[in-house]
Each structure stands twice: as C-alpha cells, then as structure tokens.
C-alpha cells in the first residue's frame, strides 16, 4: 500500500494531534496507551474533522457535547482528555448517556460494545446530526458513522460516508485519509 504525500502528511498531523492531546493522560506503563484512552483521545480529535449543519447548535456559545453509553472506562478517560479543551471556540462537555433519544444536544455519541440487535435499536433512536461512533465488528452496516477496529493491537477506525450523509454530517478528507476503511467512497 503506497500513500500519497498528502495522505502521509494527514497521518502525521493526526498522530501528532493524538499524542499532543493524550500527553496529560498518558500515566500508563511504557508499553503504550490503554484502549480506552486511545478511544477517548480519538473521540475528542474526531470533533475537529467533522462539520455539523448550522442547526446542530442553538447559538455560538453552545458546547460541543460528547455522549458515552456503555463504556465507563472510555467516559472516564474522555472526561480527563477534554477537561478545559475548546473546539472551534466551543467548550467540550462529556455526558454519560443511559438511552439515546432521551438525551438532547449531543454532537458525538460513543456506543460501547452491544449485541447487534441492541446496537441497531440504539442507533435507530439517535436523531439528527450526531456523529455515532461504535466499537464492534460490523457496526458500520448497522448505521454507525465511525467504528473503532483493532489492527494488530492498535486502535484504528473505519468510517461510513453513507451514514454520515444520512446524518447531515461532513467528514473531512484528512480524517478519511487515516481511516483503515471508508464505506461509500466512490472510486
């Protein structure tokens, strides 16, 4: 697999950003970052590479809200990662979600591992321009926009342009350049 100069630059920018953001929470052993920390950092970084429609925010001072359902470790790590952080002038807030659809004002929703039937039901309950991020095999086919995948012990992600479009979201070309797989990309 050969990468273009632009793709290599995007990859280096992505990795540099992940390391910069993760530095305060890397109190882990020298063998590397925990999966939950890597996912938390990625959830925060995704916010810089997604465009939401204007109606996703009521006013310019509204926070960017990241919800987490079904993974307390990711939620705890994410709270540390976003503490004091701002994305495009908006403070970043983490909310632990019990049931999608009941929680208003989410911009990103991470759904921890679920049975396929439950995940499909949860994804169907999410309304509007919400970046849905999941963590299980086959989740893009169930309607997730981004899905974490394990690639030889590393946390990577795949994306669905079709699901993003259905949610009125635009994924940056820089984000797609570092995805392990992109569904719905025209050749």
Structural domains in the chain (count): 1
Q: What is the DSSP string of 159-173?
A: EEHHHHHHTT-EE-H
E-assigned strand segments in 77-176: 86-87, 90-96, 108-111, 131-134, 146-151, 154-160, 170-171
**Residues of the domain holding 103:** 5-183
pLDDT tens digits along 98-138? 877 666 789 999 999 988 899 999 999 998 999 999 999 99
Mean confidence (pLDDT) of the chain: 84
Is 145's pLDDT higher than 60?
Answer: yes
- Say which CATH number the domain at 109 has: 3.40.50.2300
- What is the pTM for the complete model shown? 0.81
């Amino acid at each position: 697999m050969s990468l273009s100069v632009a793709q290599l630059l995007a990859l280096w920018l992505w990795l540099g950003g992940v390391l910069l953001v993760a530095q305060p929470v890397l109190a882990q052993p020298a063998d590397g970052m925990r999966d939950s920390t890597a996912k938390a950092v990625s959830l925060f970084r995704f916010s810089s590479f997604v465009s939401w429609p204007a109606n996703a925010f009521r006013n310019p001072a509204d926070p960017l809200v990241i919800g987490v359902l079904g993974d307390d470790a990711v939620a705890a790590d994410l709270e540390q990662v976003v503490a004091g952080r701002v994305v495009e002038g908006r403070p970043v807030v983490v909310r632990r979600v019990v049931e999608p659809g009941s929680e208003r004002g989410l911009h990103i929703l991470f759904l921890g591992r679920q049975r396929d039937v439950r995940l499909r039901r949860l994804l169907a309950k999410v309304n509007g321009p919400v970046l849905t991020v999941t963590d299980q095999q086959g989740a893009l086919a169930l309607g997730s926009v981004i899905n974490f995948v394990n690639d030889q012990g590393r946390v990577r992600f795949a994306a669905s342009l079709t699901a993003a479009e259905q949610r009125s979201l635009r994924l940056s070309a820089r984000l797609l350049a570092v995805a392990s797989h992109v569904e719905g990309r025209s050749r």
